Amino acid sequence: MGLTARELEVVVALIRGCLEEPKACEKPKPEVAAMKHQGVDEAFEILLDELETVLTEAREEAARASRAGRYDEAQALLAKAQQIEKFTGEIRAKRKEWEHLSAKPHRTRKPSAKRLRRGERTLGEDYRLPILRALVALGGEAKMQQVLERVCAEMKGRLKPADLQPLPSGTELRWRNTAQWERFKMVNEGLLRRDSPRGIWAITDKGRTYLRQHEG
């Protein structure tokens, strides 16, 4: 499932948040600035990866509608795909602006053989229960790396070849990025704590209830 319009707005807001200037009386530490740069790079990468998925799905839905003779629906879906493609171009342009602003050239994106089609990568929602189970096993909260190690162990036999490939930037494996994005959505839904320290994932009572309801 692709991003909703609201989720896209939130990701853009996250990118803007990473770009916020420090207060005049505060001089950012070099390591903090580096973490912000990395956070912006990863936010752009997540957003662009999700947009590619949404665009592919819109085109496939348009093709199915056309084959079924639903031409008005197909036309509307193609128009939607064009809007998504235009928006994706705008985000790519913004990333280039960020590369200049950060004075840290972005790694050259490795050309991909083809865009991922639906079904070629594991959906974000498939990471939801493994994340919750990992947190319960770890006592309710843990560092991101500890959670992802357990998620990987549980999903090892289910991950697809595309999940194990690095993103075009080469900074992160696709499955890790997808899991981190799903965690972001789970925070917005109240399944994970929003106020946990940086780098710490923590389950909420609502998250425990959700896990019990969906186990088995």
Kindly state the tokens that stand for 198: 């940086």
Q: What is the pTM of this model?
A: 0.56
Q: How many CB atoms lie within 10 A of CB 123?
A: 14
Q: Encode pLDDT of 126-155 as tens digits.
A: 999 999 999 999 999 999 999 999 999 999
The residue ranges of every structural domain in the chain are 5-102, 124-214
Q: CA 127 to CA 201: how far, in whole Å?
A: 14
Domain 124-214 belongs to what topology?
Answer: Arc Repressor Mutant, subunit A (1.10.10)
44-81 burial by CB neighbour count: b if 16+ within 10 A, else e?
Answer: bbbbbbbbbbbbbbbbebbeebeeeeeeeebeebbebb
Q: For residue 211, what pLDDT is reported?
A: 96
Enumerate residue ranges in the chain where pLDDT < 50.
1-2, 18-36, 105-106, 110, 112-113
Measured CA distances, 89 to 51, 83, 189, 197, 203 (Å): 10, 10, 29, 34, 36
Q: For residue 153, what pLDDT is reported?
A: 94
Nearest CA among 122, 118, 116, 146 for reference residue 133: 146
Q: For residue 1, what pLDDT is reported?
A: 42
Q: For residue 166, what pLDDT is reported?
A: 85
